[in-house]
Amino acid sequence: NETHSSCTRPRARSVLATLAAVMRVLGLDLGSKRIGLAVSDTEASFAFPAGTLRSTGRKADIAAVCEIIAEREIGAVVVGLPRHMDGRHGPEAAAAERFAAALQKSSGVPVETLDERLTSQEAERVLLAQGHAPSRSRPRVDEIAAAILLRTYLQMRDVAERPEGED
């Protein structure tokens, strides 16, 4: 019996590791008017713009995001952390950190923050390259910024999880 149980433990860990790797991640670009949304594929390899939510206050916003987490079977969330260009945290960054903590408590899924400097500018460049005026499609800027944030997060996580010496 003891041999059997020691044989099943490594298998159980690999199944858990596989299950943990097969989950969607939600990216959030918080704004005063809208929250940009992006969702990964189930392998958490690719980030896709997923629309916006109209921001109506932290409590209602958290409830709406919790619904999305349940509906789309989200396993983790990354929230954009708006820092000043010199890296300092301002009031918006403090608000994003409070939102992330409250979301994690309400949803029960891990919520991390990630520096989002320049994601909106990059999103505007993407829209310009596609022939769209960013000023006329602010919601699209927000969801693309969320996708850029999520893509960055997934790439950083992939690099961090890669065994040493593997490129």
Q: What is the pLDDT of residues 149-165, one digit of tens each?
A: 999 999 988 777 766 66
Q: Kindly indicate the confidence band of residue 134, based on its pLDDT and cuts at 50, 70 and 90.
A: confident
Tokens standing for 99?
């939102």
Inter-axis angle of helices 119-129 and 138-161, to 10 degrees?
120
For residue 1, pLDDT beyond 90 = no
Looking at residue 164, its pLDDT comes to: 66
Q: Kindly indicate the confidence band of residue 5, based on its pLDDT and cuts at 50, 70 and 90.
A: very low
Report the chain's C-alpha Rg in angstroms. Answer: 18
* H helix count then E strand count, the chain: 5, 5
Q: 140-152 burial, b if ≥16 CB within 10 A, otherwise e?
A: bbbbbbbbbbbbb
Rounded to whole angstroms, the Cα distance separating 56 from 67 reads 15
Mean pLDDT (the chain, rounded): 83
Q: Measuring CA to CA, which residue among 126, 155, 128, 131 is closest to residue 143?
A: 126
Its pTM stands at 0.79
How does DSSP classify residue 164?
T
Helix spans in 22-90 (H): 58-71
Q: Would you say 27 and 149 are in contact if contact means Cβ atoms under 8 Å apart?
A: yes
pLDDT tens digits for 43-74?
A: 999 999 999 999 999 999 999 999 999 999 99
